Amino acid sequence: MTPEYSPQASPGTEIWRNCRLLTMTAGSTLIDDGVVVARNGRIVFAGAASAAPAVPDADTIDVGGRLMTPAPIDCHTHIVHGGHRALEFEMRLAGASYVDIAKAGGGIASTVGATRALSPEQLVAEALPRLDALLAEGVSTVEIKSGYGLTIESELRMLRAARALATLRPVRIVTSYLAAHALPAEYAGRKADYIAEIVLPGLRAAHAEGLVDAVDGFCEGIAFDAAEMARVFDCAAELGLPVKLHAEQLSHIGGTRLAASRQALSADHLEYIDEADAEALARSGTVAVLLPGAFYAIRETRKPDIAALRRHRVPMAVATDCNPGTSPLTSLLLAVNMAATLFGLTVDECLAGVTSNAARALGLFDETGTLEVGKSADLAVWNCTTPAELAYRIGFNPLHSRVFKGQQQ
Ligand code: DI6
Ligand code: FE
């Protein structure tokens, strides 16, 4: 059994000096000679050395002129799951489409079988290497979804495993309930019964156990339509839980509009959104979470309308969507490179996408995502000096060190 992670003695006062500092606060620019001061794990100063307070009792860390940013956040993952889908990958190489495979009983359904077969300990053990790959790139906050159990007990087991990961590693884990991910075989042709008998009571049980931070769904022709998702979101509202939604990934069926109408934290994928969807997201303050790994892996051809999202000033986040089917990707930096190269995001948009806007997509903007007074001292130090180097490299990890809640990892 993997040993529990026990934080070192509680952090005192630390000062990181001599860094090229990107605070990612609104309108911020790169500070050539930056300083960050933290006390008991929270930021008390972040800015130019010339304006820094004297902190005589602090432990001083010389960052050596390296780039320092907020610790990256992966705001959309499915890292808790069993098995893999490499054979489907081969089928897709041979010309089968993701939708064909799903309709033939593969896809999510095949991962459901592999996931239900695992014990809670095995679920944790299989997720750990994926979590460690994200942490190795400086990630300090990870969102993890259920959605491969599709029975009440197995959905709870997935969420418990997600919570357990935060006891084994220095990381902030937030969970999303995704029982509305696919229709299990035992409910073939009976979506309304599945929602009534599994999804809704499962949500109530998960919430009662403190396992759910947000409620998600897969709004797509091969999954659940907007009216069905509205029933799930009604239950989330009764429980006071925020919502998010996989929307307009493979077609346009109104998921984005539904998410915006419920002031969702985020709408995710968005390859098939239109101008009115972007306008709706702007009105509701919902974050557009872009998932280029899935776009790339299933060889989608329709790109999200970034110009419309920009026109309406919709905050954009970038995440791995790490899952065994459409995005077996455990590198947030590669997702950043894809968001730039495939979707045309600027470096600034990419970096906001894995820091400030990713925090917004999780409802955590008051806690992390930027380096400013009062927030958690979640920092990343990089073996580079210019922000563009974080988006430019393909498959190279420039992380020098990671700080979580003020503690050097
Ligand atoms: N959209 C996706 O790309 C993943 N889930 C979803 O709603 C796919 C999950 C899988 O294929 O296992
Ligand atoms: Fe996903």
pLDDT tens column, 143-184: 999 999 999 999 999 999 999 999 999 999 999 999 999 999
Per residue in 114-139, pLDDT tens? 999 999 999 999 999 999 999 999 99
Neighbours of 94 (CB within 10 A): 7
Q: How far apart, in whole angstroms, are the C-alpha atoms of residue 287 and residue 351?
A: 15
The mean pLDDT value of the chain amounts to: 96
Give the distance from CA 52 to its chain's centroid: 33
Q: How far apart, in whole angstroms, are the C-alpha atoms of residue 306 and residue 149?
A: 34
| Atom 6 (ligand 1) nearest CA | 218
| Atom 2 (ligand 1) nearest CA | 326
pLDDT surpassing 90 at residue 6: no
pLDDT of res. 3: 61
pLDDT of res. 2: 57
pLDDT surpassing 90 at residue 28: no
Question: How far is the first Cα of the chain from the last one, in angstroms, to the nearest whole number?
Answer: 21
The Å distance, Cα 31 to ligand 1 centre, comes to 39
Nearest atom within ligand 1 for CA of residue 81: 12
Structure tokens at 233: 């979101």
Contact partners, residue 306, CB within 8 Å, separation at least 6: 316, 343, 344, 345
Per residue in 362-396, pLDDT tens? 999 999 999 999 999 999 999 999 999 999 999 99
Q: Give the pocket of ligand 1 (CB within 6 Å).
A: 107-108, 111, 181, 218, 246, 249, 294, 321, 323-326
The Å distance, Cα 108 to ligand 1 centre, comes to 7
Report, as an integer, the average pLDDT of 26-46: 96
Instruction: For the full predicted model, state whether its pTM sits above 0.95.
Output: yes
pLDDT of res. 106: 87
Mutate to test the pocket of ligand 1, among 246, 256, 290 (most ligand atoms within 8 A of CB): 246
pLDDT of res. 102: 86
pLDDT of res. 308: 98
pLDDT of res. 5: 62
The Å distance, Cα 65 to ligand 1 centre, comes to 41
Nearest atom within ligand 1 for CA of residue 291: 3
| Atom 3 (ligand 1) nearest CA | 326
Contact partners, residue 374, CB within 8 Å, separation at least 6: 42, 43
pLDDT surpassing 70 at residue 226: yes
E strands of 125-265, at which residues? 141-145, 172-177, 214-215, 218-219, 244-247
pLDDT of res. 258: 98
Percentage of the chain surpassing pLDDT 90? 93
Report, as an integer, the average pLDDT of 336-343: 98
| Atom 10 (ligand 1) nearest CA | 325
